Amino acid sequence: MQFILLIVCIVAFVDCKMKVLRPPDLVDHLGSKVNIALANFGQIPFGHRLMGYVDMAQPNDGCSPLQSATGSQFIMIERGNCTFVTKVRNAQNAGYSLAIIGNNNDEPLQSDFVMADDGQGYSVNIPSIFISLRDFNIMKEYASNYKVLDNSDDKIFILVKFDVEKKDQIDVIFSLDVNDRDSYRVVDEYSQYYNLLQNENINYTLVYQIFNSNNTELDYIIDEDNCICSRRYCSIDPDGEGIASGRNVVEEAIRQTCIFKLFPDKYFQYMNQFNFQCTKAQAYSTCGSKIITNLQLSANEITKCRDESFKDPLNDQTTKNLSNAYNAILEHQLIVREQAGMVGLPSVVVNSIVYKGQLTGKGVFGEICNSFIIPPLVCKSEVENFYQFEHQSQHYLFLVILLVSILIAIFIIVLFFLFKKFVQRDSVEVTQVQVNEMVSQYIKFYEGKDQQKQNSF
């Protein structure tokens, strides 16, 4: 029965996020699917489904340690009185594998709502989801009744699906900041997966944290020194009163983008060394140049990439007069970031879906793997029911075998008819020879008879 419901969910509600599978009267009450929002902490199993029994937290706000999970995998907790992270951590410590946080006001669930990290989110591994007050109250009312019921069939049983958008080509956007150590950590963690996925159809875009001071309310404190191109591209002064300026940061963003464009394999090594060796923004230029030499990258090509990215807005031709120029690389990044609507820094967007949860290289790899329509073999460990896809290729193999068998069968039939025809002609020849022989014998016989006659007379 569970299985059938699952199939129904997948076939009929491809976009379903959370679905109550049991008990039937609650399913009727709640409707076929429940909208959910996610958190930007915890490890979200993108592309996977979780199923389990649901308990109600005691106390309801989940702000103090919770009862241990016995037989249930998920727990419902009410919003308020403490941070989301505290609630989910308490659920994790009690042995639950998913926390369902219910809103405490009846505002509709916004599609861009995210349960925010309070800074302690790294201590949480389990995923969590957020549901509306209406849905929460219906489930809560049911759950508070089954304190007396031991039979797990009477418990709420739900399915949660962490959907990703599946495509043949995966678009991956990394949002990074030259001055942010966590950005380097994510890049470093991802490098091994970049190598694993090197032969796949993935379109990477790097977007560095740069802002256009014309578009921000902060523009009165942005010193020209922190910008290039007449304040078109700025970065926050990395050391306040010190000699470094935002301009150093903006220039380094262009250089790192160029290195990724020209030498993507070496980009990860460059980033790793830059993180450890280049700590002062005023020395980014010389320090980065040393790494470029060490890695035997062509400094000329990188400089050319930078110089050619400055264009005259009037004719889109490369220009050396930066006071009036725009920068094609940074302009593109500003547009991509605007479209992607990224939250937090660093962050990653895979097929237009912002990665939520704790950002790790492996997590990004998992999300990418699950975004392929047919995931490559290297994704085996990340994709649920990977054998399905293997079977799909076996399916093709079966078709090929079938086709070859049919061709062989046709060949054999043709051969058979040819053979038959050949055998027929052969036997016709044989009978003709026999007939000829008989005729000649007959003639001989009569001739002999004639002779006999002659002799007798």
Residues that bind ligand NAG (CB under 6 A): 59-61, 78, 80-81, 171, 173, 203, 205, 212, 214, 230-232, 321, 323-324, 336
CB of 81 or CB of 275, closer to ligand NAG: 81
Q: What share of the chain is helix, strand, coil (3-state, %, to 5)?
A: 50, 15, 35
Q: How far is CA 163 from each of CA 13, 48, 175, rounded to the nearest angstrom?
A: 11, 7, 22
Q: Which is nearer to ligand NAG, 171 or 251 (CB)?
A: 171
Which residue, chain included where needed, has tokens 């201590």? 123
Encode burial over 246-256: b for 16+ CB neighbours within 10 A, e otherwise.
bbbbbbbbbbb
Whole-angstrom distance, CA of residue 95 vs CA of residue 341: 34
Q: Under a CB-based contact definition with an 8 Å cutoff, are residues 162 and 322 in contact?
A: no
* Six-digit token string for 346: 């660093």
Structure tokens, 7: 């199939």
What are the CA-CA distances from residue 289 to residues 183, 211, 256 (Å)? 20, 25, 11
Q: Give the 3-state secondary structure of residue 417.
A: helix
Q: CB 215 → ligand NAG: shortest distance, Å?
A: 7
Q: How far is the CB of 231 from ligand NAG (least distance, A)?
A: 6
Q: Which is nearer to ligand NAG, 233 or 389 (by Cβ)? A: 233
Identify which of residues 56 and 292 has a Cβ nearer to ligand NAG in the complex.
Answer: 56
Q: Which is closer to ligand NAG, CB of 60 or CB of 191?
A: 60
In the complex, least distance from residue 418 CB atom to ligand NAG, rounded to whole angstroms:
55
CB 156 → ligand NAG: shortest distance, Å?
19
Q: Which CB sits closer to ligand NAG, 76 or 305?
A: 76
Instruction: Tell me how far, at minimum, the Cβ of 263 lies from ligand NAG, in Å.
Output: 18
Give the shortest CB-299-to-ligand NAG separation in angstroms.
26
Q: Which residue sits closest to ligand NAG, CB atoms considered?
A: 61
Burial classification of residue 10, based on how many CB atoms lie within 10 Å of its CB (0-12 exposed, 13-18 middle, 19 or more buried) = middle
Nearer to ligand NAG, 59 or 376 (CB): 59
What is the rounded distance in angstroms from the CA atom of residue 200 to the CA atom of residue 172? 12
Least distance (Å) between residue 314 CB and ligand NAG: 9
Instruction: Name the region of 313 (left: φ>0; alpha: ψ -120 to 50; beta: rest).
Output: alpha
